[in-house]
Structure 1
Amino acid sequence: MLKKILRALFTLIGGTLGYVLGSWGNSTELLPKLGINNTGFISIIFVVLCIIFIGLIFYFISPFINSGIVKAMEYLERSAQKIPIVDIVFAGIGALIGLIISVLLSTLIRVDSIIITIISVIVTVIITVLFADICVRKKDEIIHVFTSFKKPGTNKDSKIKNVGDKLSPKVLDTSVIIDGRIFDICQSGFIESTLVIPTFVLDELRHIADSSDSLKRTKGRRGLDILNKIQKELSIDVEIWEGDFEDIKEVDVKLLKLAQVLNGKVITNDYNLNKVAELQGVPVLNINELANAVKPVLLPGEVMKTQVIKDGKESGQGVAYLDDGTMIVIEEGRKYIGENIFVVVTSVLQTAAGRMIFAKPKEQ
């Protein structure tokens, strides 16, 4: 249907152009110059022939023009589908601001010159494109600035609401999603604020899930399953952040930038990301540090029952484990391998890798 409409439109344009050319030929006495007697009837015939001839030309070449127009429209449509609607809106706002500023600047120049006019047009285009690009790149910060304005409360209820609004969102990184313990933490109710999952983290998870390496593929699918469980089984708010920082390539750097924009915190168990975040002043919640913090405190002299699993590195030592995986090194415990015995804690060693407990068998 569109092709037929365009073909009819181009034929009409061709006929109109033929009428203009025929009228121009009559006004310039083109026919007498060609040796044709320019009577009223001949003039009309000439105009009609021009209309038919140019109209037919446009009629036959219109399919090629239509093909180019349709391809251009399809390309623009495909490109527009890849661009988030937020980017389009901010680009339009930025272009409008740039256009207004350029027009105001051009009114200050009152020189009638074709060169000045061309320069003004070029400057207008540059300023318009520049402001559109700035608005798209800074859209997250602009949104944050406008959403940060809150009306002061005048009663108790509004004060309680303002306190709740101060809960910073928690941005999840890929490692903590694959780890899976974030689901248990959210289920326990220790995290009350919104969980933010950036689309670039989802893209990384999908890439891992589609990996040719079976181990990576399993990890990626586990991460996607964890996200589905959080969304379906828990009442916590989950927000998919659809933006991106195109000028930043590394996912970890994007996470830190997003946390700064949202005034939130990053949840991770990545040691390197934790250190980089400390250097940039971005708050980080480390799952491993939380796990170490909630382990039961054992003091020297306490008695507990455990099963000796294997022998230790030193002669005569036995090794046991707590339920959370903490290693217990038992002096003279090698002879009790496979048995459940009572041991007395002698010391506790805290290392970067975790805790290690030293004990000895309780005297009967």
Structure 2
Amino acid sequence: MAEETLLKSFSLGQRLAGAIVLGLIAWPLGTELDRSLAVGNDPQLSVIILVSFVLIGLVATPYLTKLAAKIIISSSQNVASSKILASTIGLISGLVVAILISVPLSRLTDWPGVWFPIILTLLFAIIGGAIAVNREEDLLSLFPRLQNSSTSGGKSNSKMALDTSAIIDGRIANISHTGFVPGEFIIPTFILDELRHIADSSDSVRRNRGRRGLEMLNKLRKDSGTPVQVLEVDRWEGQEVNAKLVLLAKSLHAPIVTTDFNLNRVAEIQDVHVLNVNELANALKSVVLPGEEMELSVIQEGKESGQGVGFLDDGTMVVVEGGRRLLGTTVDVSVTRVLQTAAGRLVFAHPIAS
């Protein structure tokens, strides 16, 4: 309730500010029009212009400010923070120079005293910003601390864009809960829309996957040690979800977290770094060396004659030569060789004679 009241007050403040600013612009404009049209002392035209501008300010200001904020945020996502800092310094420097030059020029009579300072202000602001961006490194070298923070920020981006497949998979939530994932997860709104569409699917398998994804997302936001930011993205209309995600990750200079093999390849072609959860899972599997002995439960038959199959705690398949006769028992085996395949590791072993 308090939050709603605060938002209403803020919106009302925006409207009043817009009405006042436009009113201040409208009054001299109406007065100048009265004078140029030789209306005389009749202030009717000035009042009409003033009231019109005030009404426009009251109605349109919240929408205009929201639109401007969207444009600024959308544009700044593709710009490095060092460039924003450099352009700001250049803009301020240009404005200071323009003010110093405009003070004597403002004393000129008639229109040159009005328009020359305005033109010079705009011109020097643009020139100052352009020069500062062009000489960004030289400018930041004057501020060693800012340069160090900018350099360190450019080397590693703490943001990671989450794909639908990684959310549904759920392992990233467990990994994040351990504290091994630094930085921040970025979930664009089109990924949320895709999850919602999957959860509303008429196919029961897709529906269950979508609901699991929403549950994992809720778990990620509540229990994870990694912050989660939902990013509103309204660009790249007409592109499919994977293409949008690649473009977003490229603009943010952030890696994509996924389990989708095809997305992995497409992103790599476009020079976007990918963090594949399956590759992480394979890398974290326990190391098994030839000659190592272990205890294994043989739970099923192998493909070849006489083979038995068991599994390690991390899911690695172990093929036991001559293990078919030991089906349903727990035996000591010795590792003979380890094969690395596209699907993961495959371990071969033989029973140790008792």
The alignment's TM-score, normalised by the length of structure 2, stands at: 0.61
Change (3 A) 1:335 1:84: farther
Whether contact under 8 Å (1:140, 1:261) holds in the other structure is no
How far apart are residue 160 of structure 1 and its match?
7.1
Equivalent of residue 357 in structure 1, options 338, 343, 347: 347
Residue 184 (str. 1) matches residue 163 (str. 2): no
How far apart are residue 232 of structure 1 and its match?
1.2
**Equivalent residue, structure 2, for 1:275:** 265
Equivalent of residue 237 in structure 2, options 239, 247, 252: 247
Deviations 1:228-285 (A, max 9, x none): 1111112321111101323342100100000011110000010000011111110000
Counterpart amino acid of residue 297 in structure 1:
V
Whether contact under 8 Å (1:168, 1:263) holds in the other structure is no
How far apart are residue 213 of structure 1 and its match?
1.2
- Partners of 1:85 and 1:290 lie apart in 2 by 44
**Equivalent residue, structure 1, for 2:249:** 259
- Partners of 1:287 and 1:229 lie apart in 2 by 17
Whether contact under 8 Å (2:254, 2:273) holds in the other structure is yes
How far apart are residue 144 of structure 1 and its match?
3.2
**Equivalent residue, structure 2, for 1:167:** 157
Change (3 A) 1:337 1:143: closer
How far apart are residue 161 of structure 1 and its match?
9.0
**Equivalent residue, structure 1, for 2:81:** 147
Whether contact under 8 Å (1:208, 1:216) holds in the other structure is yes
Counterpart amino acid of residue 253 in structure 2:
N
Q: 1:127-142 residue pairs with structure 2 within 5 A? A: 140-142=74-76
SS of 1:285 mapped into structure 2? strand
Whether contact under 8 Å (1:208, 1:219) holds in the other structure is yes
Change (3 A) 1:84 1:333: farther
Residue 200 (str. 1) matches residue 185 (str. 2): no
SS of 1:329 mapped into structure 2? strand
- Partners of 1:85 and 1:239 lie apart in 2 by 22
Change (3 A) 1:258 1:85: farther
- Partners of 1:343 and 1:193 lie apart in 2 by 43
**Equivalent residue, structure 1, for 2:274:** 284
**Equivalent residue, structure 1, for 2:36:** none
**Equivalent residue, structure 1, for 2:208:** 218
Instruction: Name the Cα RMSD after superposition.
Output: 2.9
Whether contact under 8 Å (1:141, 1:261) holds in the other structure is no
- Partners of 2:180 and 2:343 lie apart in 1 by 24
- Partners of 2:150 and 2:352 lie apart in 1 by 56
How far apart are residue 182 of structure 1 and its match?
0.6
- Partners of 2:321 and 2:64 lie apart in 1 by 64
Equivalent of residue 199 in structure 2, options 190, 193, 209: 209
**Equivalent residue, structure 2, for 1:308:** 298
- Structure number with greater Rg is 1
**Equivalent residue, structure 1, for 2:68:** 89
- Partners of 2:65 and 2:311 lie apart in 1 by 54
Q: 1:111-130 residue pairs with structure 2 within 5 A? A: none
Greater than 4 Å deviation, 4+ residue runs? 83-86, 150-155, 157-162
Aligned length: 239
Change (3 A) 1:85 1:348: farther
- Partners of 2:163 and 2:275 lie apart in 1 by 11
Change (3 A) 1:161 1:89: closer
SS of 2:217 mapped into structure 1? helix
Q: 1:100-115 residue pairs with structure 2 within 5 A? A: none
How far apart are residue 355 of structure 1 and its match?
1.0
Change (3 A) 1:332 1:193: same
Judge which range, 278-287 or 230-239, deviates more.
230-239
Change (3 A) 1:279 1:141: farther
Judge which range, 140-149 or 313-322, deviates more.
140-149
Whether contact under 8 Å (2:179, 2:225) holds in the other structure is no
- Partners of 1:201 and 1:85 lie apart in 2 by 27
Unaligned runs of 5+ in 2: 1-58, 86-139
Residue 340 (str. 1) matches residue 340 (str. 2): no
Equivalent of residue 234 in structure 1, options 208, 224, 232: 224
Percent identity of equivalent pairs? 48
**Equivalent residue, structure 1, for 2:319:** 329
Counterpart amino acid of residue 158 in structure 2:
S
The alignment's TM-score, normalised by the length of structure 1, stands at: 0.60
- Partners of 2:318 and 2:75 lie apart in 1 by 50
Whether contact under 8 Å (1:248, 1:254) holds in the other structure is no
Whether contact under 8 Å (1:168, 1:265) holds in the other structure is no
Change (3 A) 1:227 1:162: farther
Counterpart amino acid of residue 327 in structure 2:
I
Whether contact under 8 Å (2:256, 2:274) holds in the other structure is yes
Counterpart amino acid of residue 169 in structure 1:
K
Counterpart amino acid of residue 89 in structure 1:
A
